[in-house]
Amino acid sequence: MSDEVKVVLSEKDIPTAWYNIQADLPEPLPPPINPATKEPIGPEALAPIFPMALIQQEVSQEKWIDIPGEVIDIYRLWRPSPLYRARNLEKALDTPAEIYYKWEGVSPAGSHKPNTAIAQAYYNKAEGVKRLSTETGAGQWGSALSLATCLFGLECTVYMVRVSYDQKPYRKSMMHTWGAEVFPSPTDRTNAGRAVLAKDPDCLGSLGIAISEAVEDAATREDTKYSLGSVLNHVLLHQTVVGLEAKKQFEAIGKYPDVLIGCAGGGSNFAGFAFPFLADALTKGKKMTVTAVEPTACPTMTKGPKRYDFGDTAMTTPLLMMHTLGHTFIPPGIHAGGLRYHGMAPLVSHLIDLGFIEPVAYHQNPVFEAVIKFARTEGFILAPETAHAVKATIDAALEAKKAGQKRVIVFNNSGHGHFDLGSYDAYLAKQLEDFELPQSTIDEALKEVPVV
């Protein structure tokens, strides 16, 4: 590729099917179970909140699932996204490693999230749904679903975690621009929200609480379904367009990554990027290091055990087998709002335990230091969530330097930080905290995990 920095594909290269890693698992994923009966749930249990097409995708064992033409037509607005070689960062680190990133910030909402939002809006519209409710942490998911519902002519209500609502006012304006309504969660609109506010009127909110509110909203209205931005199998499935494109792009330059890195909050950007590569590890024994990065302030993968737990605070969801800090866990108000979820996608959790994914956790300040180094060498200003992947990438590149090895490292650059610039100013003014959770806080929250 001479001096070129981008590997660019044409719209003809947009994947026409999503990759379903369930087909390639050496051991099947433990099923979701009904908290009352402790038995695996059937599709009918999810029907009040999801359209049937998505429920089928959730449990499908088919390796490839066709992407509808209407979804591809909207993907065309930004897909295929470019794969970048971070030549300036390589030089700044003086590393023999090659550093690449898949740049998902080119979507209208500025992150990978529209990959599934568009698909979910499409399937809901196809089944006659008029309105979607959802939660959002940092606002990336709420923005993406607002965009998607707008393009498909659906209504949209977003419950936004209060700490992010206050930190990122422009995210709310973005959702308004696409016609959605947005409320800071916990709200007084739902039983779940009112219950939290009764205990703590100043509650910062959490994804677990906001999910409870959005699920309740959908379950209590005939015209409304619920939409989730991460964690579930069908969400991770839709995100595999990212990794499928990246594989084609590496093929185009005759390389294959040795190290793959993504940040993981609920797990969808990480999984969508990594799973198509992990297919080669699962089916062909291909060797690679796959790293999932989280904040020490919400150490789900590194400190949370794998247990059946609720996806939300109000215990309205089925029980999912996942790494969890407990559904009552409320993490500190770090700036990476999208990484503040108490659980981790069951598929990611499963692959960690099978030894295919290595989790790692970082403190907030070194993460910001890394992403500012990235901005000052590569130009782009990234989201605080993505910054965790940058930190791990820089560490991997420095490790390669120490070992004198020419490794190929790639991270999923899941979104820009244009709505997070207050955090950047806070870092530069040395006002960011490095949260270290005492083990007792985690132990306390874990007591609430049900015994199955």
- 131-136 and 155-161: which strand pairing? parallel
Tally of CB atoms within 10 A around 209: 30
Question: Are the C-beta atoms of residues 240 and 277 closer than 8 Å to each other?
Answer: no
Span from 33-41, 316-324, 356-364, 423-431 in contact with a copy of itself (CB under 8 A): 423-431
Assess 91 for contact with a copy of itself (CB under 8 A): no
- How many residues are recorded in the chain? 452
Smallest distance from the beta carbon of 6 to a copy of itself, in angstroms?
Answer: 6
Region 131-160 residues binding a copy of itself, contact defined as CB under 8 A: 147, 150-151
Span from 103-111, 186-194, 210-218, 295-303 in contact with a copy of itself (CB under 8 A): 103-111
Q: Which of 344, 381, 437, 449 contacts a copy of itself by CB under 8 A?
A: 381
Assess 92 for contact with a copy of itself (CB under 8 A): no
Question: Could you tell me the two tokens for 310?
Answer: 């609720």
For 18, how many CA atoms within 13 A lie in the half-sphere containing its CB? 29
Q: Which one, of 103, 114, 105, 209, lies nearest residue 164 by Cα?
A: 209
Q: Which of 61, 421, 436, 444 contacts a copy of itself by CB under 8 A?
A: 421
Question: Could you tell me the two tokens for 452?
Answer: 């199955």
Assess 179 for contact with a copy of itself (CB under 8 A): yes
Smallest distance from the beta carbon of 109 to a copy of itself, in angstroms?
Answer: 8
Smallest distance from the beta carbon of 77 to a copy of itself, in angstroms?
Answer: 5
Q: Which of 135, 258, 309, 378 contacts a copy of itself by CB under 8 A?
A: 378
CA dihedral defined by 36, 38, 39, 45, rounded to 10 degrees?
Answer: 40
Q: Which of 123, 178, 226, 273 contacts a copy of itself by CB under 8 A?
A: 178
Smallest distance from the beta carbon of 47 to a copy of itself, in angstroms?
Answer: 31
Give the nearer residue to a copy of itself in terms of CB position, either 181 or 436: 181
Assess 176 for contact with a copy of itself (CB under 8 A): yes
Beta strand spans in 13-169 (E): 17-19, 64-66, 83-85, 98-103, 131-136, 155-161
Positive or negative: CA dihedral 164, 49, 313, 42: negative
Phi, psi of 339, rounded to the nearest 5 degrees: -110, 20
Question: Could you tell me the two tokens for 35?
Answer: 């908290």
Assess 251 for contact with a copy of itself (CB under 8 A): no
Q: Which of 47, 198, 403, 428 contacts a copy of itself by CB under 8 A?
A: 428
Question: Are the C-beta atoms of residues 331 and 298 closer than 8 Å to each other?
Answer: yes
Sort residue 216 into left (φ over 0), alpha (ψ -120 to 50) or beta.
alpha
Give the nearer residue to a copy of itself in terms of CB position, either 108 or 450: 108
Q: Which residues sit at the interface with a copy of itself, rule CB under 8 A? A: 3-6, 8, 10-12, 73-74, 76-78, 84, 88, 106-110, 147, 150-151, 169-170, 172-174, 176-179, 372, 375-381, 416, 418-419, 421-422, 424-425, 428
